[in-house]
Structure 1
Amino acid sequence: MEKKNENKIERKGLTVEVDKTLFAQRKNHAEKMLEQQWCFGRICRDTKECFVEPVTDKTSETLMEMLKRRRGYSQVSASEYEHLKVNHKYNFVDPLTNAHTQNIERVWKSMKKKSKSKNGTRRSMLEGYMHELTWRKKNKDNEFEFILRDIVIFNDFLNE
């Protein structure tokens, strides 16, 4: 079940941070690496809405395809947004543009901390954990009320 506009950050003039991260770890601190999983994430600085999803690779082509699949971005032309970058080799905040990825980096830190507290993340469950994280972030003010609302919505969906 996918709700309408679920992965859409609406309104013009908002600043959205986009970044990638890699989920991988050594099994029992051994040399053998577990399967790697790249993820793209985006967070709106203004509304704090965030979305995270696993991807097959970290190329810019994959990122653009992911953004085009989202209704909110599919109609956006290159002239309607300003693409700012920050080179972490030199600065964490670009001194000229004030561009940074501190908010999405905080999302990655939170996800990885939660994953480590569960002794790692099964790759088959990673997307579910991402949905849980974004749901909790979106509904943090009253999780109990919102879980009840979503149960009713899901139940109605099943009974259609």
Structure 2
Amino acid sequence: MIADGIAGSSRTLSRMAKLLREVCVSALNRLKERGMRIGGRHRFVVVDESKFAHKRKYHRGRCGNTWRRKRTWVFGMLEVNGHSRRPILRLVKNRSRRTLLRHIRRHVRTNACIVTDEWRAYKNQLSQYGYRQFSVCHKQNFVNPENNAHTQHIERAWQTYKNQIWRLRGNRTPQSLATHLKMIEWYYWLGNRHRNGVLGRLVHDLKKLQK
């Protein structure tokens, strides 16, 4: 973009990227106002938690007040519908039962099928809230031999999300990590579902913001 004369410097490119992220986050916030709920007929939800920590290249440089120092957990709820995926990603201070169940009940429709590991926060807990729960014990199997339940969908998704954020060096602070998690949600909920692709959705959101 600098060679083509679209931007005069890397600083300008950074400002452009920041503005585009704000456009996408605004579009996602409008979607949240209407409700972001997953699960339903012919689809299931896989839930899991993962640590997102900023890493220093070759373990050099000062850490500063980075995300690695505190509140490192991200709770993910991934809807699987054939080849379609829709994630909901939330920063959490801990993995307690109260915290995780609150997010599940807020974002997953009642009577949905939920696949989990056997983390004690939701082990044998979801049926009392109207969900159909299938679990796998990773100490014994990666796939439950009785019902074929597994969490590999979200395990692969974690790797993809972390690689994306690592390339952007975007998890140095809680604020930057939260923004990049929203960008991931925007892509899967809005960007790749537009008839004209991600660029078409971005133009659509720019027009909405100008009204």
Structure 2 residues not aligned, in runs of 5+: 1-28, 113-126
Q: 1:103-145 CA deviation, whole Å, 9 max, x = no partner?
A: 1112210111122223462232111101111222232260011
Secondary structure of 1:95's match? coil
Secondary structure of 2:208's match? helix
2:69 to 21, 24, 35: 35
Structure 1 residues not aligned, in runs of 5+: none
Secondary structure of 1:140's match? helix
Counterpart in 1 of 2:99?
62
Please provide the CA RMSD for this pair.
2.8
* One-letter amino acid of the structure 1 residue matched with residue 207 of structure 2: V
Q: Identical aligned pairs, as a percentage?
A: 25
Counterpart in 1 of 2:80?
45
Counterpart in 2 of 1:154?
209
2:170–2:180 CA contact under 8 A, matched in 1: no
CA distance in 2, matches of 1:5, 1:105: 29
Q: 1:82-110 CA deviation, whole Å, 9 max, x = no partner?
A: 11111222221111121111111122101
Counterpart in 2 of 1:135?
186
Counterpart in 1 of 2:3?
none
Secondary structure of 1:92's match? coil
Counterpart in 1 of 2:30?
2
The equivalences for 1:71-86 within 5 A come to: 73=109, 78=128, 80-86=130-136
2:73–2:92 CA contact under 8 A, matched in 1: yes
- Per the TM alignment, residue 153 of structure 1 is displaced from its structure 2 partner at its CA by 2.6
Counterpart in 2 of 1:19?
48
CA distance in 2, matches of 1:103, 1:109: 10
Q: In structure 2, do the counterparts of structure 1 residues 119 and 128 end up closer, same or farther at CA, with 3 Å as the change threshold?
A: closer
* One-letter amino acid of the structure 2 residue matched with residue 147 of structure 1: L
Counterpart in 2 of 1:110?
160
Secondary structure of 2:182's match? helix
Relative to the length of structure 1, the TM-score reads 0.79
Q: In structure 2, do the counterparts of structure 1 residues 10 and 82 end up closer, same or farther at CA, with 3 Å as the change threshold?
A: closer
1:93–1:99 CA contact under 8 A, matched in 2: yes
After superposing the two structures, state which structure 1 stretch, 123-132 or 137-146, moved more. 137-146
1:93–1:100 CA contact under 8 A, matched in 2: yes
